[in-house]
Structure 1
Amino acid sequence: MEIKEELFKPILITKGRNTGNPHSVMLLAVNFNGKIYFSRHRPDGDWFKNAIANPQVKIKYKDRVFSGHAKLITDEEFSKKISELKYPGEKRAKEKRVTIEITLDSA
């Protein structure tokens, strides 16, 4: 993996679950133990629903595009750990969040 930062703001590109068209959104991501994590307060965002419906995703960062595979994290304690890394020292780090994990494809 060529992404070194623990916290970074890439563009997540998902495939629209209804249209099949690319859907891009810039999000704060956590790079932890060789995987990329995105989270949100509720599972109602288009990017979140798209990644669950079609796990083949792309991450655009620093003029590079990485392909990967998304999966839902069901371990609430692990999601809490990701929130603490994402929002260090902030109150919202304690809020319950939904999290997806991206495993990047080998280059």
Structure 2
Amino acid sequence: MKIKEKLFRPILITKGRKTGNPHSVILRAVNHDGKIYFSRHRPDGDWFKNALANPEVKIQYKEMVFSGKAKLVTDEEFSQKISELKYPGEARAKEKRVTIEITLDN
């Protein structure tokens, strides 16, 4: 089963970069072209730092758990597009954000 919703709120599970323990957080996510995107204003959140340090992540959604690999989105224009998809019609869609792309395992 794959995630069909374009905008959804899953639990992102990362591996702590210091402790190695699982770290879970509920976030708003964007499903775009078969990949899942998470973003925030600054790269200072634990989940963000954890995903960069340990790219093997899990996404829990609707009683399902998906495994995947995270990477930083470096294309600022694409990051802006993800923000617009994440916050449709909202002023904060124009704010600059840092974005992580998750490629789900098959």
Task: Provide TM-score, normalisation by structure 1.
Answer: 0.98
TM superposition shift of 1:41: 0.5
d(CA) in 2 for partners of 1:48, 1:58: 13
1:66-85 map, 5 Å: 66-85=66-85
d(CA) in 1 for partners of 2:76, 2:89: 19
Task: Provide TM-score, normalisation by structure 2.
Answer: 0.99
Give ranges in structure 1 of 5+ residues lacking alignment: none
Q: Give the aligned partner of residue 4 of structure 1.
A: 4
Aligned Cα RMSD in Å?
A: 0.6
What is the letter of the counterpart of residue 103 of structure 1? T
Give ranges in structure 2 of 5+ residues lacking alignment: none
State yes or no: 1:16 paired with 2:13: no
Q: Give the aligned partner of residue 56 of structure 1.
A: 56
What is the letter of the counterpart of residue 21 of structure 1? N
User: Structure 1 runs of 4+ off > 6 angstroms?
Assistant: none
d(CA) in 2 for partners of 1:62, 1:90: 26
d(CA) in 1 for partners of 2:18, 2:63: 28
Q: Give the aligned partner of residue 35 of structure 2.
A: 35
Identity of aligned residues (%): 83
